[in-house]
Amino acid sequence: MSAVIEAPSPLASGRTAAPAPAAPRGTALRSRVRPTALGLLSVAACLLLWQVAATRHWHLGFVSFALVPPPLEVVGALWALLQSPRLAQHIGYSLWRVGAGFAAAALLGIVLGLLVGRLRAARELLLPPLEVLRPIPAVAWIPLSILAFPSSELSMIFITFVGALFPILLNTIHGAESVDPRLVASARSLGTRRGQLFVQVVLPSAAPAIVTGLSIGMGTCWFCLVSAEMISGQYGIGYYTWASYTVQDYASIVVGMLVIGVLGMGSSALIRALGTMLMPWQRRSEAQT
C-alpha cells in the first residue's frame, strides 16, 4: 500500500499563510450603492403611484383617493410650514415632551426590567400589576392624566412615558433572563457581589436587548405624541396634525405625519448608533460571526 505524502503546512515551514485577497473596490462600492438606489427607486415609485391615484380619484374597493391630497400639494404645504416661525416652536415642544417621557421610561423600565428578570421576589411582586397595565392603550390614559396632573404639560409627558415604558421593560426583562448562566456562575465563584454582578455581568449581557427596547420605545413615544398633544391647545407637531384635521387641511395632515415619521426615525437611529458605540464587545462578536 502506497503512503500518502502530505504537503508541508505554512506553519511547519516557518512561513505564515498568505492573507485572503480583499474584495475588489468596485464590488464593495456596488454593494453599498445598490441598496440605496433600490430604496430611492421604490420611494419614487410609491410617490408616482400616490400622485396618479390622488389626481385621478381612484376607488379601490373600500379605499378611495377622492379626498387624498397629491404629493405636489403636500410639498406646497411643507414649504409653507418651513417658512412659518411656528415650526421651530412645534418641533421644540414635541422634542421636549418626547425626551422627558422617554428618559423617565428608560430609567424606570431598565431598573424594573433588571429586577424582574433576575430576582424571583421582584417578578412575583411586580410582574402581575405590570401585565395588567400593559395592554391599556396610551389614549385611554388621557382622561386620568388630566385629572391626576396639575398641568397639561405633565399630562402629555405622562402619555409619552406610558407609550415608551413597556417596550423598554419587556426587552430588558428578556435580556436579563437570557444572560448565560455560566457567566453568572463564574462571576460568583470569583467572589462577585450581587450589586457588582448586575453592573459587570447582567447589564453588559442584556445591553443589546435593552438597546432594542429603547429604540422601539422611542418610536412608540412619537406614536403616542398625537394622542398626548390632543390635550394641548398651542404647540407641538401632534397638535399641528390634529388641528389640521379639525380645519380639513388634508395636505397639512400628511405634512405633520411625515414630520413625525422623520423625527421618530432619526431619534431611533440615534439610539441604535449610540448603543453600537457603547457596546464594542457586540461589534467584535458580530464581526467574528
Lowest mean pLDDT among 25-39, 96-110, 212-226: 25-39
Give the end-to-end CA distance of the chain in Å, rounded to a whole number: 43
Q: Residue 278 — very low, low, confident or very high, per pLDDT cuts 50/70/90?
A: confident
What pLDDT score does 100 carry? 95
Q: How far are the Cα atoms of 69, 74, 160, 235, 260 from residue 226, in angstroms, in the given order?
A: 20, 19, 10, 11, 9
| pLDDT beyond 80 at 142 | yes
This prediction's pTM: 0.80
User: Which residues make beta-bridge pairs with 60?
Assistant: 63
Sorted by sequence, the CB contacts under 8 Å of residue 115 that are 6+ apart come out as 122, 126
Over residues 164-189, mean pLDDT: 90
pLDDT at 24: 57
CA distance 37 to 53: 24
Express each pLDDT in 211-221 by its tens digit: 999 999 999 99
pLDDT above 70 covers what percent of the chain? Answer: 85
HSE-CB for 95 with a 13 A CA cutoff: 11
Which pLDDT belongs to residue 109? 95
Q: Locate the DSSP E strands across the chain.
A: 59-60, 63-64
Q: Quick one: pLDDT at residue 130?
A: 92
Go through 103-121 and write b for each residue having 16 or more CB atoms within 10 A of its CB, e for each that does not. ebbbeebbebbbbbbbeee
What does the alpha-carbon distance between residue 234 and residue 251 come to, in Å, rounded to a whole number? 20
Q: What is the pLDDT of residue 28?
A: 59
Mean pLDDT computed over 62-73:
87
pLDDT band at 6 (very low <50, low <70, confident <90, very high): very low
CA distances from 185 to 111, 177, 199, 201, 285 (A): 22, 14, 15, 10, 22
pLDDT of residue 31: 66
Q: How confident is the model at residue 227 (pLDDT cuts 50, 70, 90)?
A: confident
pLDDT digits (tens, 9 = 90+) for 32-49: 677 788 888 998 999 899
